[in-house]
């Protein structure tokens, strides 16, 4: 049986990317929603939101999409030469804007801001990944490098790799993000243990780990909000 995907015009107005952008502004949209606006149309078997999310997941997010060649994009199901050209042009404009106006970088004020940046693509990944959101002193995003692919466990994580890009970019703070391919963002005991190690290592390097987000399918969990892995830091703050 062929799975039915409703066309964009069949969705409620508050779920359509163009209407959401008009009412709430572009910052409120996820990467896949913004990409859907650029792509404009989907296919007979997949609406444009599904196409956008699938392409982001396939190429590993916006950075991977920017690195993809024109031919690689055209080879993806649902992306022809016209859509590939639209994507390459939009991504190039974005790179030029960042290079000329670094003050326009995305600002992280809450876990939801991070989720808006990464949830659409990371929620569809079929393999676990860990990424680090690098922030400057104004909480602007200066990069989101991928650090691990596969099982994110205490035995695999090396402090030098986790904080390597933060040290290189002189980032005073980071937010760690990884996904659960099962779609359930509930933290495991090992997730909490990993977080405690990250926070402790960050203190030694004078790089603050602001949060650790676990991404599921259309859901996420902030370990900071849950008080998991950050309890020692919170308790110390309360006693001072």
CATH number at residue 195: 3.40.140.10
End position of a domain, from candidates 67, 82, 104? 104
Query: Looking at 104, 131, 149, which one is the last position of a domain?
Result: 104
Give me the pLDDT at residue 125, please: 82
Task: Answer yes or no: is pLDDT of 2 > 60.
Answer: no
Do 97 and 138 fall into the same domain? no
Would the pLDDT of 200 be above 70? yes
Residues 208 and 144 in one domain: yes
Rounded Cα gap, residues 2 and 185, in angstroms: 28
pLDDT of res. 65:
86
Residue 191 lies in a domain: yes
Residue 153's pLDDT band, with cuts at 50, 70 and 90, is low
Q: How many domains are there within the chain?
A: 2
Q: Using a cut of 0.75, tell me whether the model's pTM lies above it.
A: no
Picking from 207, 234, 62, the residue whose alpha carbon sits closest to that of residue 136 is 207
pLDDT of 77 above 60: yes
Q: Which of 56-65, 157-166, 169-178, 229-238 has the highest mean pLDDT?
A: 169-178
Asked if residue 166 has pLDDT above 90, the reply is yes
Q: What is the CATH number of the domain that holds 40?
A: 1.10.150
| In a shared domain, residues 88 and 157 | no
Residues contacting 154, CB < 8 A, separation 6+: 190, 193, 194, 197
Contacts 24+ apart (CB under 8 A), 7-10: 7/42, 7/47, 8/36, 8/42, 8/47, 8/48, 8/49
- Rounded CA-CA distance 223/236 in Å is 17
Q: What percent of the chain has pLDDT over 70?
A: 83
């Amino acid at each position: 049986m062929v799975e039915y995907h409703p066309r964009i015009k069949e969705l409620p107005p508050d779920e359509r990317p163009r209407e959401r952008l008009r009412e709430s502004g572009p910052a409120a949209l996820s990467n896949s929603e913004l990409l859907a606006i650029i792509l404009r149309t989907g296919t007979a078997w997949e609406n444009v939101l599904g196409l956008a999310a699938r392409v982001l997941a396939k190429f590993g997010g916006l950075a991977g999409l920017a690195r993809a060649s024109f031919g690689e994009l055209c080879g993806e199901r649902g992306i022809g030469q016209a859509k590939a050209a639209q994507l390459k042009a939009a991504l190039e404009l974005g790179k030029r804007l960042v290079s000329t106006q670094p003050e326009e970088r995305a600002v992280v004020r809450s876990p939801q801001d991070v989720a808006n940046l990464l949830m659409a693509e990371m929620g569809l990944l079929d393999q676990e990944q860990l990424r680090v959101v690098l922030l400057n002193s104004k909480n602007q995003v200066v990069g989101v490098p991928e650090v691990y692919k596969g099982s994110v466990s205490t035995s695999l994580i090396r402090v030098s790799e986790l904080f390597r890009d933060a040290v290189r970019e002189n980032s005073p703070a980071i937010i760690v993000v990884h996904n659960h391919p099962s779609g359930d963002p509930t933290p495991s005991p090992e997730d909490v243990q990993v977080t405690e190690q990250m926070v402790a290592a960050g203190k030694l390097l004078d790089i603050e780990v602001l949060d650790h987000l676990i991404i599921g399918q259309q859901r996420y969990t902030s370990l900071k909000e849950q008080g998991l892995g950050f309890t020692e830091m919170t308790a110390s703050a309360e006693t001072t």
